[in-house]
Amino acid sequence: MPEWPKDPKYIGKSTPRVDGAKKVSGAAKYAHDVQPEGCLYGVVLRSRWAAAKITSIDLAPALKVRGVKAAILVREGSRQVRYYGDELAAVAATSKRAALDALRAIKVVAEPQPHVVKEHLAARPDAPRVFAETPNTGAGRERKQGDPDKGFAEADVVVEGLYATQVEIHQPMETHGGVASFKDGELTAWHSTQGISGVRDGLSGALELPQNKVRVLGEFMGGGFGSKFSAGVEGLLAARLSQAAGAPVRLMLTRFDESLAVGNRPSTFQKIRVGARADGTLTAFSMESYGCAGYAAGGPSAGGSTNSGFPAPYIYRVPNFRTRHTEVSIHAGPAAAFRAPGCPPASFGIESILDELAVKLGIDPVELRIKNDPMELRQRQYRMAAERFGWAAKYRKPGSSSGPVKTGVGCAGSAWRVPGGGTQAEIEVSPDGSVEIRCGTQDLGTGTHTVIAVVAAELLGLTPADIQVRIADSRFPPSGASGGSMTVTSVTPAVFDVCTKAIEELMRTSGLADVRGPQWRAACRKLGVSPLVLQGRWIDGLSAAGTGGVQMAEVEVDTETGFVRVKRVTCVQDAGLLVNELTARSQANGGIMMGIGYALYENRVMDSTSGVMLNPNFETYKLPGIADVPEIDVAFMDLLERRVMGIGEPVTIPTASAIANAVANAIGARVTSLPITPDKVLAALGKVPGAARDNPHDAWMSLFATQPA
Amino acid sequence: MKPIERSSGGAGAPAHVVSRRAFLRGLGTAAVTAAATSTAAVAAEMEKAGGEATVGPGEVPLEFVLNGKPVRTAAEPRETLLDVLRARFGLTGAKEGCDRGTCGACTVLLDGKPIYACMRLALEVAGASIETIEGQSLAGGLSPVQAAFVKHDALQCGFCTPGFVMTTTALLRANPTPTEAEVRRACSGHLCRCGSQPHIIRAALAAAGVATTTTSTADSLRHDHA
Amino acid sequence: MKPFTYQRALSVDTAVAESSERCRLLAGGIDLLGELKEGLVEADKVVAVTRIPGLDTIEKKSAGWTIGANVTVATIAAHADLARAFPGLAAAARDVASPQIRHVSTVAGNLLQHSRCWYYRHRDVTCMKKGGDVCYAREGEHKYHALFTGGYCISPLVSSLAVALTVLDASVVVRGRGGERRLTMAELYAPAWDDHAVHHAIVPGEMLTAIEIPLAARRSAFVQASEKASFDWALVSCAVSLELEGGVVRQARIALGAVSPVPYRDERAEKALVGTRLDETTADAAAALLLEKAEPLPHNAYKVPIARALIKRALLAAATPG
């Protein structure tokens, strides 16, 4: 079995990212920034209707606009539109102004049809159908373990609740899209993507080009969070426009486009029942749930295929359970994989009801979790986190802090289990000692460049600055997409392998007993005139899956204005063998910040009458800002023997649940749907005349009323 | 479209006022974009633009100071400063994240103050000083703010970073030793979806030499197993 | 944005002569560019007013303060003398949007900005405010909308400075082709109360040139509640001013923002405070009176308790020395 060095110099330490200077100086070129000579500006025409039959689209007026070089349809002939924002046509012109002028000139004739954009209305039998042939609600999937009826019968206490999570949109700062350039029958695409190989395969398939005639590049990309695995409709349109115009075309979506059409985290509605013994031991769990992934799970532009399903009873050990999940379709943009798909909604439901149970039983929420969590590591994490956070002193009876501004605390746990693999890498060692590592992976901002440099430097006895890292080119040895927190577990073993081979080969050619570190240059000189080029691949035993983490949150709630401020988040995360602590810490902070957005601000708002999304912008689709940052305390359990693990996803899972529990603890009433906005806080406190105290909204109950349980 | 040559000294105090003579002198060597027409026509347009003449809707000559150097280009009245910087000067450090003045990725300094380049008509900056991220690096090296951002990993994907760097730079010029609250307030017009804000606060304070914040603490509990 | 011509006005006369339905005046540009980019308004011409000499000063004269139309929100927020005289105005300015916006947006632009109703701002929705015949918000998503209105449209006024200036008895100077007129803040917004088609009383061919604040021995305060800690619109804002004599209220002004198409006042609430000493009870009684005529809808009823809390907080803050 291969083993990581026991006394590392760089691994597990903090190395500033090797591409940091480029990013802070504006020198890093994202797909957004690539401007080949003669590059045209591409834009997409979208449906103004949530549901319509498109009978004709006249591109001729667009082609007459000065500067327009190409205008194409997404699809020929009449077609059905199933959401506001669906792609209809695209234009390429010499300037942004000309392209937008041309968009306005296109004439679309459509027969608008009835639409439904709210989950509870879509579930009604008389609702307009998203697909004429099938009802909007699916058949439902059931899972069962043990004997739930017996489990509930054995329970001393049973609690019930209805919990709902909103549609969350990825909103990477760089929108989807890229630059496509055809030259001599070959396509080069600079694409903002989490998976250059997948984009290459997607473009070659759709355009019927041999895979070796398509090259995809993406050294810098501005965030994806699961939404950027494929070329997408926009990538294909850029390529087709480039073909049609005979010039490179840059097609990056606008924020408006980004909000509508390229993926989101599905909404969920969870009716949960939990039974427990007086000592807190869970005996039974049942859940009826609905979820909505827009017009269809994983649409063509969404990339990853996913649906609204989620694990239940998530991480907890319950001997008897029954779940039934039903998909609901509405006329809205499609879902896509989103950072830890399914897990944040799953966590919100179960962690909320566990706190309800803890209150009912008079048991400390941390103790209740330790009792029912099957993972010994996470049990220890709860104790560590409680000490760092000061849980024992801070946890009080719900709503018991004095004054109008109340404080409260909450906790939640997470798990993630996706193994790495399937990566190849190449090393080129030059006679002057310089080293280049090439790998067809990509860097989402997680620090892939740096992680490769750290591992290679460690093994070769050099410094990270000595390693030239080249990634995000589909001509490099293949690696998988960066999703599922799999990049570091997939890439580092391949780098380990290729470095080990280089050392062996150099030892052979140089005759030196050790070629690393001080001997490196001398050994390389013996190569003569030809560089040493070797390939390696992912090997077993260096990376692993199965991480766990817990988070605790402290909030302050103004019970007169409903305003929630997160004061502090403590995160204890099993990080396996940390490769680079500095960038891992950034990821943990980022997961927590994203969790704060999910907990308190973010929500896609659809309008029933018009069928449009009302907040396709950052003004009313609200992301957390720097003023919303709490004190964040991250503790990594850096366990050499647990091997390399990815943490990008688990760190965002429990944040919103911990915050929701902290709010409930602060005010003594529970906001049962996300985001926890002032209107809901005040309603939960019974301060809003005419509003129901128990949200989710009454309307959502009708979801459960329309279908037999 | 070729980028204009880099400014050599963008880190000092901004050039707030540039005399017309100095401006025209500078134009002798400054790159002129492909859009510029004949010298005589440009001069005539400039005179008109100096008064109350109505110009456009076609391209209009435009002069301003970019990263310390006078530049001349032409822009339609409807073009934003961001579009002009990116398309006509090839300066792609300022990003279009929202095009509505909400994300801060396009932040540049106008006479030393951070503004959203996406919400400023280009003609509105005539005669003014504009600083972009491209003018921040000192003779190939990083400015103290940039260096602090790298050291403290105040970035992940990096797309929002040029904007944060510009705002932080302006903050530290005006207030060399800000408090954490002042950093938060100064940076409140920026979004970062990767969630690097805790490290941005840390980097901004470190660049100012102010004791590091408690906003983000971390421990690595090596070999902590039973 | 469709193509338009551009003129840099160097005098108010030029700006006023050019201003029309199809020729828009451009100051900081945040509001106008947003509307142009979304295609909500079209312009054949844009006249920039920010280089008109003399409109960017803050002056204290014997009768009161004059703030030029082109003074930026950032300048107001940072003006120490103004902040001492009118802490409520300074507080409101500090909470406007973000630094990048405050650096360019002018006081006139802030006062005259258009609706932020998400139906109004939507490129593909034609609500009654844009010439359609429906208020989508009323039957739809109205959590950010008005509690009080004289019409059917429930788009609220969002300018915080309008609310802060209202309680200072400020007026605006408006230049038209025929001369100058002065409007109180109430008059500036009065037409919007029941006419969904307008945002304020200024018509094409006019330009707001200055704000005048009378000198008075007033204390003022401004508070707002939002969903986020910064760079977020107010759900409700509240400005108050008080004239106190020996701790007793001689005159009071209370105005609410984001709950009505105008800065919302009710004289009954203000009069009820006269002759009293401010405490929790008297403040709450005034709040109750001011909110008495609220007509909450299903999603915006929560604004009532928020407003009640903010009125109390603003009153007590203004009454507390320091």
User: In the predicted model, is pLDDT for residue A196 greater than 70?
Assistant: yes
User: Per mean pLDDT, which range of A434-448, B4-18, B56-70, C60-74 is the poorest?
Assistant: B4-18
Please check whether residue B12 lies inside any domain of the structure: no
- Inter-axis angle of helices A487-510 and A448-460, nearest 10: 30
| Residue at which a domain ends, from B135, B164, B197 | B135
ipTM value greater than 0.95: yes
Q: What span, in angstroms and rounded, lies between the C-alpha atoms of C124 and B60?
A: 32
Q: What's the CATH code of the domain at C243?
A: 3.30.390.50
User: In the predicted model, is pLDDT for residue B139 greater than 80?
Assistant: no
- Whether C196 and C262 map to the same domain: the answer is no
- Whether A695 and A660 map to the same domain: the answer is yes
Contacts with B121 from chain C: Cβ below 8 Å: 6, 26, 29, 33, 46, 48
User: In the predicted model, is pLDDT for residue C202 greater than 90?
Assistant: yes
Q: What's the CATH code of the domain at A284?
A: 3.30.365.10
- List the one residue out of C291, C259, C285, C260 whose CA is nearest residue C273: C285
Element (H, E) at C22: none
How sure is the predictor about A706, in pLDDT bands with cuts at 50, 70 and 90?
Answer: low
- Whether B99 and B65 map to the same domain: the answer is yes
How sure is the predictor about A641, in pLDDT bands with cuts at 50, 70 and 90?
Answer: confident
Q: Which of B57, B126, B189 sits opposite C231 (nearest CB)?
A: B189
What SS3 class is residue A559?
Answer: coil
- Whether C206 and C263 map to the same domain: the answer is no
Region A428-437: mean pLDDT is 98
Q: Do A84 and C231 touch (CB under 8 A)?
A: no
Q: Do A622 and C139 touch (CB under 8 A)?
A: no
Q: Do C118 and A97 touch (CB under 8 A)?
A: no
Share of chain A above pLDDT 90, in %: 92
How sure is the predictor about B122, in pLDDT bands with cuts at 50, 70 and 90?
Answer: very high
Tokens of A291: 């979820």
Please check whether residue B78 lies inside any domain of the structure: yes
Cβ neighbours for A182, distance < 8 A, ≥ 6 positions apart: A239, A242, A243, A246
User: In the predicted model, is pLDDT for residue B145 greater than 90?
Assistant: yes
Q: What is the pLDDT of residues A57-106, one digit of tens each?
A: 999 999 999 999 999 999 998 899 999 999 999 999 999 999 999 999 99
User: In the predicted model, is pLDDT for residue A701 greater than 80?
Assistant: no
- Inter-axis angle of helices A196-207 and A232-245, nearest 10: 50
Q: Do C125 and A612 touch (CB under 8 A)?
A: yes
- Whether B150 and B200 map to the same domain: the answer is yes
Please check whether residue A595 lies inside any domain of the structure: yes
Mutate to test the interface with B, among A96, A173, A638 (most CBs of B within 10 A): A173
Domain that holds residue B168: 144-207
User: In the predicted model, is pLDDT for residue B224 greater than 80?
Assistant: no
Q: Which of C136, C235, C301 sits opposite A610 (nearest CB)?
A: C136
Q: Do B78 and C4 touch (CB under 8 A)?
A: yes
Tell me, what's the pLDDT at A1?
A: 83
Region A603-616: mean pLDDT is 98
- Whether B122 and B65 map to the same domain: the answer is yes
How sure is the predictor about A241, in pLDDT bands with cuts at 50, 70 and 90?
Answer: very high
Average pLDDT of chain A, as a whole number: 95
- Whether A380 and A237 map to the same domain: the answer is no
User: Per mean pLDDT, which range of A292-301, A363-372, A631-640 is the poorest?
Assistant: A292-301
User: In the predicted model, is pLDDT for residue B22 greater than 90?
Assistant: no
Q: What is the pLDDT of residues C246-271, one digit of tens each?
A: 999 999 999 999 999 999 999 999 99
Q: Which of A605, A625, A678 sits opposite C141 (nearest CB)?
A: A605
Tell me, what's the pLDDT at B218?
A: 72
Please check whether residue B116 lies inside any domain of the structure: yes
- Whether B78 and B157 map to the same domain: the answer is no
CB burial readout A524-554, b (16+ within 10 A) else e: beebeeebbebebebeeebbbbebbbbbbbb
Name residues 619-648 of chain A within 8 A of B (Cβ).
619, 623-627, 629-641
Tell me, what's the pLDDT at C97?
A: 98
How sure is the predictor about B48, in pLDDT bands with cuts at 50, 70 and 90?
Answer: low
The answer to whether the CB of A11 falls within 8 A of the CB of A576 is no
Q: What's the CATH code of the domain at C86?
A: 3.30.465.10
User: In the predicted model, is pLDDT for residue B32 greater than 80?
Assistant: no
Region B88-95: mean pLDDT is 98
| Residue at which a domain ends, from A224, A252, A280 | A252
Domain that holds residue C239: 219-319
Q: What is the pLDDT of residues C212-252, one digit of tens each?
A: 999 988 999 999 999 999 999 999 999 999 999 999 999 99
- Whether C248 and C308 map to the same domain: the answer is yes
- Whether C208 and C259 map to the same domain: the answer is no
User: In the predicted model, is pLDDT for residue A8 greater than 60?
Assistant: yes
- Whether B113 and B171 map to the same domain: the answer is no
Q: Do A617 and B102 touch (CB under 8 A)?
A: yes
Please check whether residue B226 lies inside any domain of the structure: no
The count of C-alpha atoms lying within 13 angstroms of the C-alpha of A336, restricted to the half-sphere facing its C-beta, is: 27
| Residue at which a domain ends, from B86, B115, B135 | B135
Element (H, E) at A360: helix A343-361
Name residues 582-621 of chain A within 8 A of C (Cβ).
600-601, 605, 607-610, 612, 614-615, 619-620
Tell me, what's the pLDDT at B37?
A: 39
Q: What's the CATH code of the domain at B64?
A: 3.10.20.30
Please check whether residue C121 lies inside any domain of the structure: no
How sure is the predictor about A29, in pLDDT bands with cuts at 50, 70 and 90?
Answer: very high
Cβ neighbours for A565, distance < 8 A, ≥ 6 positions apart: A555, A556, A557, A558, A628, A630, C229
How sure is the predictor about B137, in pLDDT bands with cuts at 50, 70 and 90?
Answer: confident
- Whether A248 and A191 map to the same domain: the answer is yes
Please give the backbone phi and psi of residue A397, each rounded to the nearest 5 degrees, phi first.
-60, 140
Please check whether residue A334 lies inside any domain of the structure: yes
Please check whether residue B11 lies inside any domain of the structure: no
| Residue at which a domain ends, from B135, B164, B194 | B135
Q: Do C305 and A615 touch (CB under 8 A)?
A: no
Pick A47 or B40 by higher pLDDT: A47
- Whether C97 and C227 map to the same domain: the answer is no
- Whether A321 and A218 map to the same domain: the answer is no
- Whether C187 and C290 map to the same domain: the answer is no
The count of C-alpha atoms lying within 13 angstroms of the C-alpha of A190, restricted to the half-sphere facing its C-beta, is: 20
CB burial readout C183-194, b (16+ within 10 A) else e: bebbebbbbbbe
- Whether C208 and C223 map to the same domain: the answer is no
Q: Do C226 and A563 touch (CB under 8 A)?
A: yes
Average pLDDT of chain B, as a whole number: 82
Region A516-532: mean pLDDT is 96
Please check whether residue C100 lies inside any domain of the structure: yes
The answer to whether the CB of A287 falls within 8 A of the CB of A190 is no
Q: What span, in angstroms and rounded, lies between the C-alpha atoms of A21 and C47?
A: 42
Q: What is the DSSP letter of C277?
A: B
- Whether A95 and A56 map to the same domain: the answer is yes
Q: Which of C6, C33, C230 sits opposite B56 (nearest CB)?
A: C6
- Whether C99 and C167 map to the same domain: the answer is yes
- Whether C286 and C204 map to the same domain: the answer is no
Tell me, what's the pLDDT at B51?
A: 84
Domain that holds residue A510: 420-537
Residue with tokens 């080949």: A36
Neighbours of B37 (CB within 10 A): 12
Please check whether residue B74 lies inside any domain of the structure: yes
- Whether A413 and A425 map to the same domain: the answer is no
Please give the backbone phi and psi of residue A327, each rounded to the nearest 5 degrees, phi first.
-85, 140
Tell me, what's the pLDDT at A693?
A: 59
**For A562, left (φ over 0), alpha (ψ -120 to 50), or beta?**
left
- Whether C205 and C77 map to the same domain: the answer is yes
Please check whether residue A142 lies inside any domain of the structure: no
Please check whether residue A257 lies inside any domain of the structure: no
Region B57-77: mean pLDDT is 97
Own/partner long-range contacts of C291-297 (Cβ < 8 Å, ≥24 apart)? C291/C147, C292/C266, C292/C268, C293/C148, C293/C266, C294/C147, C294/C148, C294/C259, C295/C147, C295/C148, C295/C149, C296/A689, C296/A690, C296/C147, C297/C138, C297/C142, C297/C145, C297/C154
- Whether C294 and C232 map to the same domain: the answer is yes
Please check whether residue A145 lies inside any domain of the structure: no
- Whether B128 and B149 map to the same domain: the answer is no
- Whether A513 and A561 map to the same domain: the answer is no
Beta bridge partners of B75: B60
Q: Which of B76, B77, B186 sits opposite C99 (nearest CB)?
A: B186
Mutate to test the interface with A, among C237, C302, C308, C315 (most CBs of A within 10 A): C302
Q: What is the pLDDT of residues A82-91, one digit of tens each?
A: 999 999 999 9
Residue C58 distance to chain A (closest CA, Å): 30
Please check whether residue C65 lies inside any domain of the structure: yes
- Whether A201 and A72 map to the same domain: the answer is yes
User: In the predicted model, is pLDDT for residue C209 greater than 70?
Assistant: yes
- Whether B44 and B121 map to the same domain: the answer is yes
Residue A174 in contact with partner chain B when CB distance is under 8 A: yes
Tokens of A401: 């802090």
Please check whether residue C178 lies inside any domain of the structure: yes
Chains touching chain B, criterion 3+ CB pairs below 8 Å:
A, C
- Whether C69 and C207 map to the same domain: the answer is yes
Q: Where are the alpha helices (DSSP H) in chain C?
A: 12-18, 30-38, 73-78, 80-85, 87-94, 99-104, 107-112, 136-139, 160-166, 185-189, 267-273, 280-290, 303-319
- Whether B130 and B53 map to the same domain: the answer is yes
Contacts with C97 from chain B: Cβ below 8 Å: 189
Q: What is the pLDDT of residues A122-176, one digit of tens each?
A: 999 999 999 998 899 988 899 999 999 999 999 999 999 999 999 999 999 999 9
- Whether B50 and B130 map to the same domain: the answer is yes
Tell me, what's the pLDDT at A692?
A: 64
Contacts with B52 from chain C: Cβ below 8 Å: 7-11, 14
Q: What span, in angstroms and rounded, lies between the C-alpha atoms of A264 and A255?
A: 14
CA dihedral A395, A396, A399, A403 (to 10 degrees): -100
Q: What span, in angstroms and rounded, lies between the C-alpha atoms of A495 and A214?
A: 25
Report the residue of chain C nearest B78, measured CA to CA: C3
- Whether A222 and A353 map to the same domain: the answer is no
Please check whether residue B218 lies inside any domain of the structure: no
Please check whether residue B213 lies inside any domain of the structure: no
- List the one residue out of B110, B115, B84, B85 whose CA is nearest residue B190: B115
How sure is the predictor about A307, in pLDDT bands with cuts at 50, 70 and 90?
Answer: confident
Region B43-51: mean pLDDT is 57
- Looking at the structure of chain B, the number of domains it has is 2
Identity of residue A423: T
Please check whether residue C299 lies inside any domain of the structure: yes
| Residue at which a domain ends, from A218, A252, A286 | A252
- Whether B127 and B169 map to the same domain: the answer is no
- Whether B131 and B154 map to the same domain: the answer is no
- Looking at the structure of chain C, the number of domains it has is 2
What SS3 class is residue A674?
Answer: coil
Tell me, what's the pLDDT at A297?
A: 59
Contacts with B226 from chain A: Cβ below 8 Å: 380
Contacts with C10 from chain B: Cβ below 8 Å: 51-52
| Residue at which a domain ends, from A252, A276, A291 | A252
Report the residue of chain C nearest A676, measured CA to CA: C227
Residue B190 distance to chain C (closest CA, Å): 8
Report the residue of chain C nearest B112, measured CA to CA: C103
Q: What is the pLDDT of residues C274-299, one digit of tens each?
A: 999 999 999 999 999 999 999 999 99
- Whether B156 and B61 map to the same domain: the answer is no
Please check whether residue C209 lies inside any domain of the structure: yes
- Looking at the structure of chain A, the number of domains it has is 3
Please check whether residue A560 lies inside any domain of the structure: yes
Tokens of A212: 């070796």
